[in-house]
Amino acid sequence: MSRPNPALLFGFLVAVIVILAGVTLAKGGFFIAKHEGDTLHLLQIVFRMASGEWPHLDFMTPIGWLAFAPIALFVNLGLGVGNAILMSQILVAFVLLPAVFWAGMSRFQGGVAYLFGLVVLVLALALVHGEAERSVSISMHYNRWAWAVSYVVIALAVLPPREFGNDRLDGIIVGVGMAVLALLKVTYFAAFAVPVTVALAMRGALGTLRIALLSGLGVAVAVTILAGAEFWAAYVGDLLTVFASDVRPQPGAGLRTIIGAPAYLGGSLVLLLAVILLRQADEPVLGLVLLLLAPGFLYVTYQNFGNDPQWLMLLAILLLVPTPRPELQNGVGWNMRGALRLAAVAAVAFAAPTFLNLAYSPFRHLGLTVADYQAMLVRTPQHRDLRLPVVRANQVNAAVALDGPGSGLEARAGPAERAEARTEFMGELLPDCELQLGLIAWFETIVADLEQAGLAGGRRVFAADLFSGHWLFGDLQRLQNGAPWYYGELAGFDSADFLLVPLCPTSQKVRKEILADVTARGAELTERRRTALYILYHISKG
Protein backbone atom coordinates (compact mmCIF):
# COMPACT_ATOMS: atom_id res chain seq x y z
CA MET A 1 0.00 0.00 0.00
CA SER A 2 1.21 3.51 -0.81
CA ARG A 3 0.82 6.53 1.38
CA PRO A 4 -2.48 8.39 0.92
CA ASN A 5 -2.82 11.29 -1.46
CA PRO A 6 -2.61 14.44 0.73
CA ALA A 7 -5.32 16.34 -1.12
CA LEU A 8 -7.71 13.39 -1.15
CA LEU A 9 -7.16 12.60 2.52
CA PHE A 10 -7.59 16.21 3.62
CA GLY A 11 -10.68 16.54 1.43
CA PHE A 12 -12.12 13.35 2.89
CA LEU A 13 -11.60 14.55 6.46
CA VAL A 14 -13.17 17.93 5.73
CA ALA A 15 -16.08 16.18 4.01
CA VAL A 16 -16.70 13.99 7.07
CA ILE A 17 -16.83 17.06 9.31
CA VAL A 18 -19.02 19.05 6.93
CA ILE A 19 -21.50 16.21 6.41
CA LEU A 20 -21.83 15.27 10.08
CA ALA A 21 -21.88 18.92 11.18
CA GLY A 22 -24.43 19.87 8.55
CA VAL A 23 -26.74 17.01 9.47
CA THR A 24 -26.35 17.87 13.16
CA LEU A 25 -27.17 21.57 12.77
CA ALA A 26 -29.99 21.05 10.28
CA LYS A 27 -32.39 20.20 13.10
CA GLY A 28 -32.26 23.74 14.48
CA GLY A 29 -31.56 22.67 18.04
CA PHE A 30 -30.45 19.76 20.16
CA PHE A 31 -33.05 17.06 20.86
CA ILE A 32 -31.93 14.64 23.56
CA ALA A 33 -33.83 11.50 24.47
CA LYS A 34 -32.24 10.37 27.75
CA HIS A 35 -29.83 11.23 30.55
CA GLU A 36 -31.58 14.40 31.74
CA GLY A 37 -29.66 14.26 35.01
CA ASP A 38 -26.31 14.25 33.23
CA THR A 39 -27.52 17.06 30.98
CA LEU A 40 -28.48 19.18 33.99
CA HIS A 41 -25.03 18.47 35.42
CA LEU A 42 -23.54 19.76 32.16
CA LEU A 43 -25.76 22.85 32.10
CA GLN A 44 -24.85 23.88 35.63
CA ILE A 45 -21.15 23.76 34.81
CA VAL A 46 -21.53 25.52 31.46
CA PHE A 47 -23.62 28.37 32.90
CA ARG A 48 -21.22 28.81 35.80
CA MET A 49 -18.26 28.96 33.43
CA ALA A 50 -20.08 31.30 31.05
CA SER A 51 -20.52 33.68 33.99
CA GLY A 52 -16.78 33.67 34.66
CA GLU A 53 -16.41 30.90 37.22
CA TRP A 54 -13.63 28.31 37.04
CA PRO A 55 -14.12 24.61 37.77
CA HIS A 56 -12.38 23.42 40.94
CA LEU A 57 -11.84 27.00 42.11
CA ASP A 58 -15.48 28.14 42.15
CA PHE A 59 -17.30 24.82 42.13
CA MET A 60 -16.48 21.16 42.58
CA THR A 61 -16.13 18.70 39.71
CA PRO A 62 -13.65 15.92 38.86
CA ILE A 63 -14.07 16.66 35.14
CA GLY A 64 -11.58 19.04 33.57
CA TRP A 65 -11.99 22.61 32.37
CA LEU A 66 -11.67 21.80 28.66
CA ALA A 67 -14.64 19.43 28.78
CA PHE A 68 -16.95 22.44 29.10
CA ALA A 69 -14.98 25.48 27.91
CA PRO A 70 -15.96 25.13 24.21
CA ILE A 71 -19.67 25.04 25.11
CA ALA A 72 -19.35 28.00 27.50
CA LEU A 73 -17.57 29.90 24.71
CA PHE A 74 -20.55 29.60 22.37
CA VAL A 75 -23.02 30.44 25.14
CA ASN A 76 -21.05 33.64 25.73
CA LEU A 77 -21.25 34.34 22.00
CA GLY A 78 -25.05 34.40 22.33
CA LEU A 79 -26.08 30.91 21.22
CA GLY A 80 -28.68 28.90 23.02
CA VAL A 81 -27.12 26.09 25.00
CA GLY A 82 -28.49 23.41 22.66
CA ASN A 83 -26.79 24.86 19.62
CA ALA A 84 -23.75 25.78 21.74
CA ILE A 85 -23.29 22.08 22.54
CA LEU A 86 -23.52 21.15 18.86
CA MET A 87 -21.15 23.94 17.77
CA SER A 88 -18.63 22.94 20.44
CA GLN A 89 -18.41 19.48 18.90
CA ILE A 90 -17.81 20.95 15.46
CA LEU A 91 -15.12 23.22 16.89
CA VAL A 92 -13.40 20.22 18.50
CA ALA A 93 -13.48 18.35 15.19
CA PHE A 94 -11.89 21.26 13.29
CA VAL A 95 -9.25 21.74 15.99
CA LEU A 96 -8.38 18.05 15.70
CA LEU A 97 -8.33 18.14 11.88
CA PRO A 98 -4.65 19.15 11.36
CA ALA A 99 -3.41 16.57 13.87
CA VAL A 100 -5.60 13.84 12.38
CA PHE A 101 -4.36 14.73 8.90
CA TRP A 102 -0.72 14.66 9.99
CA ALA A 103 -1.14 11.32 11.77
CA GLY A 104 -2.85 9.86 8.73
CA MET A 105 -0.18 11.06 6.31
CA SER A 106 2.86 10.18 8.41
CA ARG A 107 1.79 6.90 10.06
CA PHE A 108 -0.64 5.08 7.78
CA GLN A 109 -0.89 3.83 4.24
CA GLY A 110 -3.78 3.47 1.86
CA GLY A 111 -7.27 3.10 3.28
CA VAL A 112 -6.06 2.78 6.88
CA ALA A 113 -5.43 6.53 6.99
CA TYR A 114 -9.01 7.18 5.91
CA LEU A 115 -10.38 4.72 8.46
CA PHE A 116 -8.31 6.34 11.21
CA GLY A 117 -9.56 9.82 10.34
CA LEU A 118 -13.16 8.67 10.08
CA VAL A 119 -13.13 7.02 13.51
CA VAL A 120 -11.53 10.00 15.25
CA LEU A 121 -13.95 12.51 13.74
CA VAL A 122 -16.97 10.33 14.48
CA LEU A 123 -15.88 10.22 18.12
CA ALA A 124 -15.72 14.01 18.15
CA LEU A 125 -19.07 14.61 16.43
CA ALA A 126 -21.34 11.78 17.61
CA LEU A 127 -24.57 12.54 19.46
CA VAL A 128 -24.54 9.59 21.82
CA HIS A 129 -21.94 8.33 24.28
CA GLY A 130 -21.75 4.87 22.72
CA GLU A 131 -23.22 1.43 23.43
CA ALA A 132 -25.85 0.08 21.04
CA GLU A 133 -28.90 1.85 22.52
CA ARG A 134 -30.12 4.31 19.90
CA SER A 135 -31.35 7.30 21.93
CA VAL A 136 -29.59 10.63 21.38
CA SER A 137 -27.70 12.03 24.38
CA ILE A 138 -24.91 14.50 25.14
CA SER A 139 -24.04 12.66 28.33
CA MET A 140 -20.31 12.05 28.82
CA HIS A 141 -19.35 13.88 25.64
CA TYR A 142 -15.93 14.43 27.19
CA ASN A 143 -15.26 10.68 27.06
CA ARG A 144 -15.68 10.71 23.28
CA TRP A 145 -13.51 13.80 22.92
CA ALA A 146 -10.83 12.24 25.11
CA TRP A 147 -10.85 9.04 23.05
CA ALA A 148 -10.51 11.09 19.85
CA VAL A 149 -7.45 12.89 21.27
CA SER A 150 -6.06 9.59 22.61
CA TYR A 151 -6.25 7.97 19.15
CA VAL A 152 -4.09 10.73 17.68
CA VAL A 153 -1.58 10.80 20.54
CA ILE A 154 -1.19 7.02 20.68
CA ALA A 155 -0.81 6.69 16.90
CA LEU A 156 1.95 9.31 16.77
CA ALA A 157 3.74 7.92 19.82
CA VAL A 158 3.51 4.21 19.04
CA LEU A 159 4.00 4.13 15.27
CA PRO A 160 7.23 5.32 13.62
CA PRO A 161 6.95 7.68 10.65
CA ARG A 162 6.74 5.85 7.35
CA GLU A 163 8.12 7.89 4.43
CA PHE A 164 8.64 11.20 6.19
CA GLY A 165 8.45 12.57 9.71
CA ASN A 166 8.85 15.67 11.81
CA ASP A 167 9.96 15.14 15.39
CA ARG A 168 9.07 18.68 16.39
CA LEU A 169 5.53 18.48 15.03
CA ASP A 170 5.04 15.02 16.53
CA GLY A 171 6.24 16.29 19.89
CA ILE A 172 3.97 19.33 19.87
CA ILE A 173 0.90 17.25 19.01
CA VAL A 174 1.70 14.53 21.57
CA GLY A 175 2.54 17.01 24.33
CA VAL A 176 -0.46 19.25 23.76
CA GLY A 177 -2.66 16.18 23.33
CA MET A 178 -1.61 14.71 26.67
CA ALA A 179 -2.18 18.09 28.34
CA VAL A 180 -5.64 18.23 26.77
CA LEU A 181 -6.40 14.78 28.19
CA ALA A 182 -5.41 16.00 31.66
CA LEU A 183 -7.77 18.96 31.24
CA LEU A 184 -10.60 16.87 29.80
CA LYS A 185 -10.68 13.84 32.04
CA VAL A 186 -7.58 12.94 33.98
CA THR A 187 -8.36 9.20 33.76
CA TYR A 188 -7.10 9.19 30.17
CA PHE A 189 -3.90 11.02 31.05
CA ALA A 190 -3.19 8.57 33.87
CA ALA A 191 -3.94 5.57 31.67
CA PHE A 192 -1.81 6.53 28.68
CA ALA A 193 1.04 8.72 29.98
CA VAL A 194 3.39 5.81 30.71
CA PRO A 195 2.73 3.80 27.50
CA VAL A 196 3.13 6.94 25.36
CA THR A 197 6.41 7.83 27.08
CA VAL A 198 7.75 4.28 26.82
CA ALA A 199 6.72 4.02 23.17
CA LEU A 200 8.61 7.17 22.24
CA ALA A 201 11.68 6.06 24.19
CA MET A 202 11.67 2.52 22.75
CA ARG A 203 11.64 3.68 19.16
CA GLY A 204 14.38 6.22 19.88
CA ALA A 205 12.24 9.33 19.43
CA LEU A 206 13.87 11.15 22.33
CA GLY A 207 13.69 14.48 20.53
CA THR A 208 9.95 14.03 20.13
CA LEU A 209 9.68 13.11 23.80
CA ARG A 210 11.55 16.24 24.90
CA ILE A 211 9.39 18.50 22.76
CA ALA A 212 6.27 16.71 24.02
CA LEU A 213 7.26 17.38 27.61
CA LEU A 214 7.96 21.05 26.86
CA SER A 215 4.69 21.41 24.95
CA GLY A 216 2.70 19.84 27.77
CA LEU A 217 4.40 22.10 30.29
CA GLY A 218 3.62 25.05 28.05
CA VAL A 219 -0.10 24.26 28.22
CA ALA A 220 0.17 23.92 32.01
CA VAL A 221 1.86 27.33 32.24
CA ALA A 222 -0.81 28.92 30.06
CA VAL A 223 -3.60 27.53 32.27
CA THR A 224 -1.72 28.68 35.36
CA ILE A 225 -1.51 32.20 33.95
CA LEU A 226 -5.25 32.20 33.20
CA ALA A 227 -6.52 30.53 36.38
CA GLY A 228 -3.71 30.88 38.92
CA ALA A 229 -1.46 28.31 40.53
CA GLU A 230 -4.20 27.35 42.99
CA PHE A 231 -6.18 25.87 40.07
CA TRP A 232 -4.03 22.73 40.09
CA ALA A 233 -4.29 22.18 43.84
CA ALA A 234 -8.06 22.62 43.63
CA TYR A 235 -8.23 20.17 40.71
CA VAL A 236 -6.28 17.56 42.64
CA GLY A 237 -8.47 18.19 45.67
CA ASP A 238 -11.64 17.51 43.67
CA LEU A 239 -10.14 14.32 42.24
CA LEU A 240 -9.14 13.07 45.69
CA THR A 241 -12.61 13.84 47.06
CA VAL A 242 -14.27 11.80 44.33
CA PHE A 243 -11.71 9.01 44.64
CA ALA A 244 -12.42 8.72 48.38
CA SER A 245 -16.19 8.86 47.97
CA ASP A 246 -18.24 5.68 48.13
CA VAL A 247 -21.29 7.28 46.53
CA ARG A 248 -20.27 6.19 43.05
CA PRO A 249 -17.00 4.21 43.14
CA GLN A 250 -17.41 3.40 39.46
CA PRO A 251 -20.16 4.39 37.03
CA GLY A 252 -20.81 0.91 35.70
CA ALA A 253 -19.64 -2.69 35.92
CA GLY A 254 -16.68 -3.79 38.03
CA LEU A 255 -13.19 -4.24 36.62
CA ARG A 256 -13.40 -8.04 36.59
CA THR A 257 -16.60 -7.79 34.59
CA ILE A 258 -14.97 -5.43 32.10
CA ILE A 259 -12.23 -8.00 31.49
CA GLY A 260 -14.02 -11.32 31.57
CA ALA A 261 -17.81 -10.99 31.34
CA PRO A 262 -19.48 -12.42 28.21
CA ALA A 263 -20.01 -8.98 26.67
CA TYR A 264 -16.30 -8.10 26.98
CA LEU A 265 -14.35 -11.36 26.93
CA GLY A 266 -14.14 -11.54 23.14
CA GLY A 267 -12.51 -8.12 22.92
CA SER A 268 -10.13 -8.94 25.78
CA LEU A 269 -9.05 -12.13 24.03
CA VAL A 270 -8.46 -10.28 20.76
CA LEU A 271 -6.31 -7.76 22.65
CA LEU A 272 -4.24 -10.55 24.22
CA LEU A 273 -3.96 -12.38 20.90
CA ALA A 274 -2.85 -9.17 19.19
CA VAL A 275 0.09 -8.80 21.59
CA ILE A 276 1.17 -12.39 20.90
CA LEU A 277 0.78 -12.07 17.13
CA LEU A 278 2.78 -8.84 17.00
CA ARG A 279 5.66 -10.48 18.82
CA GLN A 280 5.53 -13.41 16.40
CA ALA A 281 5.41 -11.00 13.45
CA ASP A 282 8.75 -9.43 14.43
CA GLU A 283 7.02 -6.32 15.80
CA PRO A 284 8.38 -6.47 19.35
CA VAL A 285 8.12 -2.72 20.08
CA LEU A 286 4.50 -2.46 18.95
CA GLY A 287 3.67 -5.68 20.80
CA LEU A 288 5.22 -4.49 24.05
CA VAL A 289 3.63 -1.04 23.85
CA LEU A 290 0.25 -2.62 23.15
CA LEU A 291 0.77 -4.77 26.25
CA LEU A 292 1.43 -1.58 28.22
CA LEU A 293 -1.63 0.07 26.70
CA ALA A 294 -3.92 -2.84 27.60
CA PRO A 295 -4.35 -1.96 31.32
CA GLY A 296 -5.08 1.64 30.33
CA PHE A 297 -7.67 0.55 27.78
CA LEU A 298 -9.40 -1.60 30.38
CA TYR A 299 -9.15 0.99 33.16
CA VAL A 300 -10.67 3.78 31.06
CA THR A 301 -13.45 1.42 29.99
CA TYR A 302 -14.08 0.58 33.65
CA GLN A 303 -14.22 4.28 34.59
CA ASN A 304 -16.65 5.29 31.83
CA PHE A 305 -20.42 4.86 32.11
CA GLY A 306 -21.65 2.23 29.67
CA ASN A 307 -18.24 0.53 29.80
CA ASP A 308 -17.76 0.82 26.06
CA PRO A 309 -14.43 -0.60 24.83
CA GLN A 310 -13.84 2.30 22.44
CA TRP A 311 -10.23 1.14 22.12
CA LEU A 312 -11.23 -1.74 19.86
CA MET A 313 -11.25 0.37 16.69
CA LEU A 314 -7.82 1.75 17.60
CA LEU A 315 -6.59 -1.81 18.14
CA ALA A 316 -7.86 -2.79 14.70
CA ILE A 317 -6.13 0.20 13.09
CA LEU A 318 -2.82 -0.55 14.81
CA LEU A 319 -3.00 -4.16 13.65
CA LEU A 320 -3.47 -3.05 10.04
CA VAL A 321 -0.19 -1.10 10.03
CA PRO A 322 2.52 -3.83 10.20
CA THR A 323 3.43 -5.57 6.96
CA PRO A 324 5.35 -8.74 7.87
CA ARG A 325 7.21 -10.58 5.11
CA PRO A 326 4.68 -12.50 3.00
CA GLU A 327 6.37 -15.80 3.84
CA LEU A 328 6.61 -15.23 7.62
CA GLN A 329 4.74 -17.84 9.68
CA ASN A 330 4.48 -18.54 13.40
CA GLY A 331 5.10 -21.87 15.10
CA VAL A 332 1.69 -23.29 14.22
CA GLY A 333 1.94 -22.36 10.56
CA TRP A 334 -0.16 -19.19 10.52
CA ASN A 335 0.84 -16.63 7.94
CA MET A 336 1.55 -13.57 10.10
CA ARG A 337 0.33 -10.94 7.69
CA GLY A 338 -2.98 -12.75 7.33
CA ALA A 339 -3.21 -13.45 11.07
CA LEU A 340 -2.83 -9.76 11.93
CA ARG A 341 -5.50 -8.85 9.38
CA LEU A 342 -7.89 -11.43 10.80
CA ALA A 343 -7.30 -10.14 14.33
CA ALA A 344 -8.06 -6.61 13.08
CA VAL A 345 -11.29 -7.84 11.51
CA ALA A 346 -12.26 -9.47 14.81
CA ALA A 347 -11.61 -6.21 16.68
CA VAL A 348 -13.77 -4.30 14.18
CA ALA A 349 -16.54 -6.88 14.57
CA PHE A 350 -16.58 -6.45 18.36
CA ALA A 351 -16.46 -2.65 17.99
CA ALA A 352 -19.12 -2.44 15.28
CA PRO A 353 -22.30 -2.01 17.41
CA THR A 354 -20.89 0.95 19.32
CA PHE A 355 -19.11 2.55 16.37
CA LEU A 356 -22.13 2.32 14.08
CA ASN A 357 -24.29 3.81 16.82
CA LEU A 358 -21.88 6.73 17.12
CA ALA A 359 -21.55 7.19 13.38
CA TYR A 360 -25.20 7.47 12.47
CA SER A 361 -26.42 9.24 15.62
CA PRO A 362 -26.43 12.66 13.84
CA PHE A 363 -28.64 11.20 11.10
CA ARG A 364 -30.92 9.68 13.72
CA HIS A 365 -31.11 13.08 15.41
CA LEU A 366 -32.15 14.69 12.11
CA GLY A 367 -35.04 12.25 11.74
CA LEU A 368 -36.65 13.00 15.11
CA THR A 369 -40.18 14.43 15.16
CA VAL A 370 -40.05 18.01 16.49
CA ALA A 371 -43.64 17.91 17.76
CA ASP A 372 -42.72 15.14 20.20
CA TYR A 373 -40.23 17.38 22.03
CA GLN A 374 -40.38 20.35 24.39
CA ALA A 375 -37.84 22.77 25.82
CA MET A 376 -35.88 21.52 28.82
CA LEU A 377 -35.50 25.03 30.26
CA VAL A 378 -38.98 26.41 29.58
CA ARG A 379 -38.47 29.66 31.47
CA THR A 380 -35.22 30.60 29.72
CA PRO A 381 -36.11 31.69 26.14
CA GLN A 382 -32.49 31.82 24.95
CA HIS A 383 -31.96 28.16 25.75
CA ARG A 384 -35.16 26.64 24.42
CA ASP A 385 -33.11 25.04 21.66
CA LEU A 386 -32.28 22.22 24.09
CA ARG A 387 -35.25 19.88 24.01
CA LEU A 388 -36.37 16.50 25.29
CA PRO A 389 -39.40 14.25 24.66
CA VAL A 390 -42.67 15.66 26.00
CA VAL A 391 -43.61 12.34 27.56
CA ARG A 392 -40.25 11.93 29.24
CA ALA A 393 -40.33 15.50 30.55
CA ASN A 394 -43.76 15.10 32.14
CA GLN A 395 -44.08 11.46 33.12
CA VAL A 396 -42.94 11.11 36.73
CA ASN A 397 -42.23 7.54 37.82
CA ALA A 398 -40.77 6.23 41.05
CA ALA A 399 -39.72 2.95 42.63
CA VAL A 400 -41.66 2.62 45.88
CA ALA A 401 -41.13 -0.05 48.52
CA LEU A 402 -44.18 -2.25 49.06
CA ASP A 403 -42.86 -4.19 52.05
CA GLY A 404 -43.52 -1.54 54.69
CA PRO A 405 -45.64 -1.82 57.86
CA GLY A 406 -49.12 -3.18 57.20
CA SER A 407 -48.25 -4.55 53.77
CA GLY A 408 -48.08 -8.19 54.80
CA LEU A 409 -44.58 -8.23 53.33
CA GLU A 410 -42.77 -6.92 56.40
CA ALA A 411 -40.75 -10.13 56.78
CA ARG A 412 -39.21 -9.50 53.37
CA ALA A 413 -37.77 -6.11 54.28
CA GLY A 414 -34.82 -7.59 56.23
CA PRO A 415 -33.48 -9.90 53.50
CA ALA A 416 -34.09 -7.09 51.00
CA GLU A 417 -31.70 -4.88 53.03
CA ARG A 418 -34.22 -2.05 53.21
CA ALA A 419 -32.57 -0.70 56.33
CA GLU A 420 -29.49 0.31 54.34
CA ALA A 421 -31.43 2.98 52.45
CA ARG A 422 -34.10 3.80 55.06
CA THR A 423 -33.58 7.33 56.35
CA GLU A 424 -34.66 8.89 59.62
CA PHE A 425 -34.24 12.65 59.93
CA MET A 426 -35.45 15.21 62.43
CA GLY A 427 -37.34 12.52 64.31
CA GLU A 428 -39.30 11.05 61.39
CA LEU A 429 -38.87 8.16 58.99
CA LEU A 430 -38.73 9.35 55.40
CA PRO A 431 -40.56 7.46 52.63
CA ASP A 432 -38.85 4.52 50.96
CA CYS A 433 -39.00 5.85 47.40
CA GLU A 434 -36.66 6.69 44.52
CA LEU A 435 -37.42 8.86 41.51
CA GLN A 436 -36.93 6.94 38.25
CA LEU A 437 -38.24 9.29 35.57
CA GLY A 438 -39.52 12.84 35.32
CA LEU A 439 -36.63 14.83 36.76
CA ILE A 440 -37.52 17.96 34.79
CA ALA A 441 -41.15 17.97 35.96
CA TRP A 442 -39.92 17.30 39.50
CA PHE A 443 -37.60 20.31 39.50
CA GLU A 444 -40.07 22.64 37.79
CA THR A 445 -42.87 21.79 40.20
CA ILE A 446 -40.76 22.17 43.34
CA VAL A 447 -39.27 25.50 42.23
CA ALA A 448 -42.68 26.85 41.20
CA ASP A 449 -44.02 25.89 44.63
CA LEU A 450 -41.12 27.63 46.37
CA GLU A 451 -41.77 30.78 44.35
CA GLN A 452 -45.50 30.71 45.07
CA ALA A 453 -44.78 30.32 48.78
CA GLY A 454 -42.43 33.31 48.71
CA LEU A 455 -39.39 31.17 49.53
CA ALA A 456 -37.39 31.77 46.35
CA GLY A 457 -36.47 35.36 45.54
CA GLY A 458 -32.78 34.71 44.88
CA ARG A 459 -32.25 32.39 47.82
CA ARG A 460 -29.99 29.34 47.68
CA VAL A 461 -31.23 25.79 48.15
CA PHE A 462 -29.11 22.77 49.05
CA ALA A 463 -30.92 19.55 48.11
CA ALA A 464 -30.30 16.29 49.95
CA ASP A 465 -29.91 14.39 46.70
CA LEU A 466 -27.54 13.86 43.80
CA PHE A 467 -28.49 17.22 42.27
CA SER A 468 -28.87 20.75 43.60
CA GLY A 469 -29.76 22.27 40.24
CA HIS A 470 -33.01 23.93 41.21
CA TRP A 471 -31.57 27.34 40.31
CA LEU A 472 -31.80 26.40 36.63
CA PHE A 473 -35.60 26.41 36.83
CA GLY A 474 -36.59 29.65 38.54
CA ASP A 475 -35.79 32.55 40.82
CA LEU A 476 -33.03 30.91 42.87
CA GLN A 477 -29.30 31.48 43.10
CA ARG A 478 -26.68 28.78 42.65
CA LEU A 479 -24.69 27.62 45.65
CA GLN A 480 -21.34 29.27 46.20
CA ASN A 481 -18.56 26.68 45.78
CA GLY A 482 -21.24 24.08 45.19
CA ALA A 483 -21.13 20.91 43.12
CA PRO A 484 -23.37 20.12 40.13
CA TRP A 485 -23.38 16.50 41.31
CA TYR A 486 -22.99 15.19 44.84
CA TYR A 487 -19.51 13.75 45.26
CA GLY A 488 -19.39 12.96 48.94
CA GLU A 489 -19.03 16.36 50.60
CA LEU A 490 -21.47 19.12 51.52
CA ALA A 491 -20.00 21.42 48.86
CA GLY A 492 -21.88 24.73 48.90
CA PHE A 493 -23.87 23.97 52.06
CA ASP A 494 -22.42 26.93 53.94
CA SER A 495 -23.89 29.34 51.39
CA ALA A 496 -27.37 27.76 51.41
CA ASP A 497 -30.43 29.43 52.90
CA PHE A 498 -32.52 26.27 52.84
CA LEU A 499 -32.06 22.52 53.03
CA LEU A 500 -34.53 20.77 50.72
CA VAL A 501 -35.23 17.15 51.65
CA PRO A 502 -36.97 15.36 48.77
CA LEU A 503 -39.45 12.71 49.86
CA CYS A 504 -38.64 10.71 46.74
CA PRO A 505 -35.02 11.46 45.81
CA THR A 506 -33.12 10.14 42.83
CA SER A 507 -30.90 8.29 45.31
CA GLN A 508 -31.96 7.28 48.80
CA LYS A 509 -28.37 6.33 49.60
CA VAL A 510 -27.17 9.84 48.80
CA ARG A 511 -30.03 11.44 50.72
CA LYS A 512 -29.19 9.35 53.76
CA GLU A 513 -25.48 10.21 53.57
CA ILE A 514 -26.12 13.93 53.14
CA LEU A 515 -28.57 14.11 56.02
CA ALA A 516 -26.16 12.19 58.24
CA ASP A 517 -23.45 14.74 57.42
CA VAL A 518 -25.84 17.63 58.06
CA THR A 519 -26.72 16.14 61.44
CA ALA A 520 -23.06 15.59 62.30
CA ARG A 521 -22.29 19.17 61.42
CA GLY A 522 -24.87 20.32 63.96
CA ALA A 523 -26.64 22.66 61.57
CA GLU A 524 -29.56 24.51 63.15
CA LEU A 525 -32.62 23.75 61.05
CA THR A 526 -36.18 25.05 61.22
CA GLU A 527 -38.94 23.54 59.12
CA ARG A 528 -40.46 26.16 56.81
CA ARG A 529 -42.58 24.21 54.36
CA ARG A 530 -43.85 20.69 53.77
CA THR A 531 -45.52 19.34 50.63
CA ALA A 532 -46.15 15.95 49.08
CA LEU A 533 -42.79 16.28 47.30
CA TYR A 534 -40.38 17.78 49.84
CA ILE A 535 -39.68 19.19 53.27
CA LEU A 536 -37.89 22.55 53.42
CA TYR A 537 -35.73 23.58 56.37
CA HIS A 538 -34.30 27.03 56.96
CA ILE A 539 -30.60 26.94 57.82
CA SER A 540 -29.74 29.35 60.62
CA LYS A 541 -26.50 31.24 60.13
CA GLY A 542 -24.28 31.35 63.22
| Residues 401-452: tens digit of each pLDDT | 888 778 888 888 888 777 777 899 999 999 999 999 999 999 999 999 999 9
Helix (H) or strand (E) holding 332: none
Q: Find the helix or strand (DSSP H, E) in which 328 lies.
A: none
Average pLDDT over residues 6-18: 97
| CA 419 to chain CA centroid, nearest Å | 33
Could you tell me the pLDDT band of residue 338, with boundaries at 50, 70 and 90? very high
Give the pTM. 0.95
Domain membership of residue 342 (yes or no) is yes
Given the DSSP bridges, would you call strands 459-463 and 373-375 parallel, antiparallel or unpaired?
unpaired
Residue 47: pLDDT over 90: yes
Q: Distances in Å between the alpha carbon of 353 and those of 133, 309, 316, 359?
A: 9, 11, 15, 10
Q: What is the pLDDT of residue 249?
A: 55
The answer to whether residues 144 and 13 belong to one domain is yes
Q: Does residue 299 lie within any of the structural domains?
A: yes
- 43: Cβ contacts below 8 Å, ≥ 6 apart: 81, 377, 386, 469, 472
Is 373 part of any domain? no
Q: Domain span at residue 473?
A: 396-539
- pLDDT tens column, 177-197: 999 999 999 999 999 999 999
391 falls within a domain:
no
Q: How far is Cα 468 from Cα 475, in angstroms, rounded to an integer?
A: 14
Together in a domain, 362 and 403: no
Domain match, 40 and 99 both: yes
**Residues whose CB falls within 8 Å of the CB of residue 143, separated by 6 or more in sequence, listed in order:** 129, 130, 185, 304, 305, 310
For residues 293 and 407, state if they share a domain: no
CA torsion through residues 446, 450, 452, 453, sign: positive
Within-domain flag for 381: no
Average pLDDT of the residues of the chain: 93
**Mean pLDDT across 39-45:** 96
Q: What is the C-alpha to C-alpha distance for residues 342 and 334, in angstroms, rounded to an integer?
A: 11
Number of structural domains found in the chain = 2
Q: How confident is the model at residue 127 (pLDDT cuts 50, 70, 90)?
A: very high
Asked whether residue 408 falls in the same domain as residue 351, the answer is no
Average pLDDT over residues 63-84: 97
Task: Give the pLDDT of residue 508.
Answer: 93
Q: Kindly indicate the confidence band of residue 2, based on its pLDDT and cuts at 50, 70 and 90.
A: confident
pLDDT, one tens digit per residue, over 365-393 is 999 999 999 999 999 999 999 999 999 99
Q: What is the pLDDT of residue 405?
A: 79
Instruction: Report the pLDDT value the prediction gives residue 293, as an integer from 0 to 100.
Output: 95
Same domain, 109 and 252: yes
At 542, the pLDDT band (50, 70, 90 cuts) reads: low
Q: Are residues 405 and 313 in the same domain?
A: no
pLDDT of residue 406: 81
Give a yes or no: residue 379 inside a domain.
no
126 pLDDT above the threshold of 70: yes
pLDDT at 131: 87
Which amino acid makes up residue 491? A
The pLDDT, as a whole number, for residue 163 is 82
pLDDT at 105: 96
Question: Could you say which of 350, 366, 382 is where a domain stops?
Answer: 366
Same domain, 32 and 151: yes
Reported as a pLDDT band with limits 50, 70 and 90, residue 248 is low
Residues 353 and 499 placed together within one structural domain of the fold: no
pLDDT at 95: 98
* Residue (of 293, 304, 301, 252) closest to 271 by Cα position: 293
- Of the given ranges (107-121, 219-233, 245-259, 350-364), which has the lowest mean pLDDT? 245-259
Q: Provide the pLDDT for residue 70.
A: 98
344 and 415 share one domain: no
* 62 found inside a domain: yes
Q: Give domain status of residue 1, yes or no.
A: no
**Same domain, residue pair 406 and 345:** no
218 plus 99 within the same structural domain: yes
Where a domain ends, among 346, 366, 386?
366
| Range 348-363 average pLDDT | 96
Domain end, chosen from 310, 344, 366, is at: 366
CB of 499 within 8 A of CB of 536?
A: yes
Exposure letters 517-542 (e unless 16+ CB within 10 A, then b): ebeeeebebeeebeeeebbbbbbeee
| pLDDT value for 251 | 66
Question: Which has more confidence, 521 or 148?
Answer: 148
pLDDT in tens, 152-180: 999 999 999 988 889 999 999 999 999 99
